[in-house]
Structure 1
């Protein structure tokens, strides 16, 4: 069960959430009193110094770029006149580097306010440009939303990113420069509150809908990672809700309503189930169908990620080796922290080793398509580099 982050005193043995004061230097870590701040200074000092330095540099680069008068290549006031082309200009590089450094240090702080700032930085950079140096922040933004307990926003944003990638392909075929498209069509996210605010999205999206919007053969793996995290969270909520139905029948809890209410307040944990009360009252048959649907979605996303970056899952579980990437550490930690996530991945790895058809049916290699009857003639092979299942078959021609 995941719990959305709350502002709290950073002193280890303190659990106060009210009347907090921000650290006067970094402004992203909070304490209930000066005594607790002084006591925690030795632990917080390194991160505090990094945060203060990074934020100071970022503000200086922002002011410098805002006053930029323009030259033969880069227009003046890039924040207004270079939207969509921001990363094309060398003059914006120092600002972009400063922003990335701030986000990396904010992640170390890990507080609610720090993560909210990460989301704002990600959305702002995405507003300014949709490719190049902004890609890292764009890919990470759904993860920051999930860490904040904003799973519905993370789903909406991830789905839109999938569809936006498809639009990019369509526009590139028509020889229209992607980064010069209309801003409102490209960025339906409201930068003030981080929610979708556009005619493109008339309402919140359904996390249980078919994954038909994933049309690319090899989509962006980070969008898939955010999707699979959300699906695992929903699956965990369904298990917790089923357990609650059993618990509410126990005579002990019926007599101790206060204890039962305390347990019930924590379930469900996702924004999706908390918002939609109808989901919580489904009968057992519909509940089982919904759970099977989530399992299928997880299987497909698992194979997509495995096919594109087959090393990701093993690197995540081992937290080391030649395939380990420090830039993915936040993703590794989220899978580790999320209840049941590691077990879900381990079970899928075992299914892959056994050649389970529930996974194989999502494999796009030509040999699996032949096995499924989707290819009746032509060139058939199993590419061990791209196929997650790594079956080294002889290539041959079917007449």
Structure 2
């Protein structure tokens, strides 16, 4: 993984990936008018001048991508032209599709392709992320049992590309494909990745248990929050429409432009009461998934707020619930968190709401800590407990997000005042 100096590779432009020049990223342009780097084939430029100007920054990454592609080509040639013996087929691509990892001669090829995909993801471009996902998907086609853990990376990558339905279907298949441990990964006639169009609004009970994949839980949480942000944007747009008379076709166009997920398009058509009902369902799901995440990886959210150490870490292996597992899940998903506008804001506000309410009880909480032999400062205790309890305050953050009035009258401020008054009366 990248050294500390490369943390910014996880923090590109906020919003959906699109073709853009790295020297003028805010400018929209028709991709057909952009020059594509012939070396890495992952960067595009608005003109020759900017391509030349960006070359000193781009040269190292471009060379790494070219070298990684060359390595994949060399390893692929070896597999396709292998000398046949009792352990090695002459061309595993034709004879052992789905069973690659069982052949020792294919493993260097699979590792090389995985390495290329990783480098492409770190470029943070639409071309790079899209091609990287194609590599991982094809690796699953070649090796169904996924001995390299490709399935841990794919869901968050799909969300970066707004393949939200595909992401949910992928997560659900892996979570439900082998309930009794009898699925035969060597039987190519069995259904494989055949979940399509699953209901994203269904209860996430199939995933919220201690044996779930941490990467899948993280991706599903991002997806639920992403939909909540889209609903927030639709609610704000409709509040504005209620104050200003706009033609219906213009309202429809505005609503299309304030949502990001393709799954949210159908929400444009539902009545306001149904939209609020969907918001409540998503909020309950997100809170449940968040609590599952906290139980599975207690340090994940802490590191999500301060990710630099986790993004710089390296590990060849991990155990369930370990710091190393959290670190790898952070590296797999942080770019998705960063690029999905609004989701981190919801979590920051939920934590702040929890912290404000906890301040009312801080003296009692400090006393309890001392009684069990702990001596944290008030700031340390508030920081720890606000992360632990933030999922019960996510509803505050969601209500705050669509509130357009004065700051001191936000829903969370009113609720905190009401709680304080109730404590006084008690």
TM-score by length of 1: 0.74
Candidates 227, 230, 235, aligned match of 1:234: 227
CA spacing shift, 1:284–1:187, aligned 2, 3 Å? closer
Q: What is the rounded CA distance, in whole Å, between the counterparts of 2:283 and 2:255 in structure 1?
A: 25
Equivalent position of 1:9 in the other structure: 21
Aligned pairs (5 A) from 1:189-228: 201=196, 204-214=197-207, 217-228=210-221
Q: What is the rounded CA distance, in whole Å, between the counterparts of 1:28 and 1:146 in structure 2?
A: 19
- Report if aligned partners of 1:125, 1:134 keep a CA contact under 8 Å in 2: no
Q: What is the rounded CA distance, in whole Å, between the counterparts of 1:264 and 1:357 in structure 2?
A: 30
Candidates 273, 286, 291, aligned match of 1:303: 291
- Report if aligned partners of 2:350, 2:391 keep a CA contact under 8 Å in 1: no
Q: What is the rounded CA distance, in whole Å, between the counterparts of 1:289 and 1:111 in structure 2?
A: 36
Please, which runs of 5 or more residues in structure 2 have no aligned partner?
1-12, 311-322, 356-383, 393-426
- Report if aligned partners of 1:306, 1:312 keep a CA contact under 8 Å in 2: yes
Q: What is the rounded CA distance, in whole Å, between the counterparts of 1:130 and 1:94 in structure 2?
A: 17
Candidates 152, 157, 168, aligned match of 2:165: 152
Moved more, 65-74 or 10-19: 10-19
CA deviation digits over 1:53-107, x for unaligned, max 9? 1111111111211112333323332223223331133212211221121012101
Q: What is the rounded CA distance, in whole Å, between the counterparts of 2:84 and 2:182 in structure 1?
A: 29
CA spacing shift, 1:221–1:77, aligned 2, 3 Å? same
CA deviation digits over 1:199-254, x for unaligned, max 9? x54xx222111224337542111111111111001000111101011111233x74
Q: What is the rounded CA distance, in whole Å, between the counterparts of 1:5 and 1:347 in structure 2?
A: 25
Equivalent position of 1:170 in the other structure: 181
Q: Which structure shows the bigger proportion of residues in helix conformation?
A: 2
- Report if aligned partners of 1:218, 1:304 keep a CA contact under 8 Å in 2: no
CA spacing shift, 1:317–1:3, aligned 2, 3 Å? closer
Please, which runs of 5 or more residues in structure 1 have no aligned partner?
173-177, 189-199, 360-399
CA spacing shift, 1:215–1:26, aligned 2, 3 Å? closer
Aligned pair count reads 334
Q: What is the rounded CA distance, in whole Å, between the counterparts of 2:253 and 2:240 in structure 1?
A: 13
Asked if 1:70 corresponds to 2:84, the answer is: yes
CA spacing shift, 1:346–1:31, aligned 2, 3 Å? closer
Tell me by how many angstroms 1:184 deviates: 5.6
Asked if 1:353 corresponds to 2:353, the answer is: no
Cα-Cα RMSD:
3.1
Equivalent position of 1:120 in the other structure: 134
Q: What is the rounded CA distance, in whole Å, between the counterparts of 2:33 and 2:309 in structure 1?
A: 45
Task: Work out which structure has the larger RCO, using CA pairs closer than 8 Å and 6 or more positions apart in sequence.
Answer: 2
Aligned pairs (5 A) from 1:357-376: none
Tell me by how many angstroms 1:327 deviates: 6.3
Aligned pairs (5 A) from 1:1-399: 3-12=15-24, 15-17=28-30, 18-131=32-145, 133-135=147-149, 137-164=150-177, 166-167=178-179, 169-171=180-182, 178-183=184-189, 185-188=191-194, 201=196, 204-214=197-207, 217-251=210-244, 254=246, 263-274=254-265, 276=266, 279-321=267-309, 323=323, 325=327, 328-346=330-348, 350=354, 353=385
DSSP-derived class of the 2:204 partner: coil
- Report if aligned partners of 1:96, 1:133 keep a CA contact under 8 Å in 2: no
TM-score by length of 2: 0.70
DSSP-derived class of the 2:51 partner: helix
Q: What is the rounded CA distance, in whole Å, between the counterparts of 2:223 and 2:185 in structure 1?
A: 29
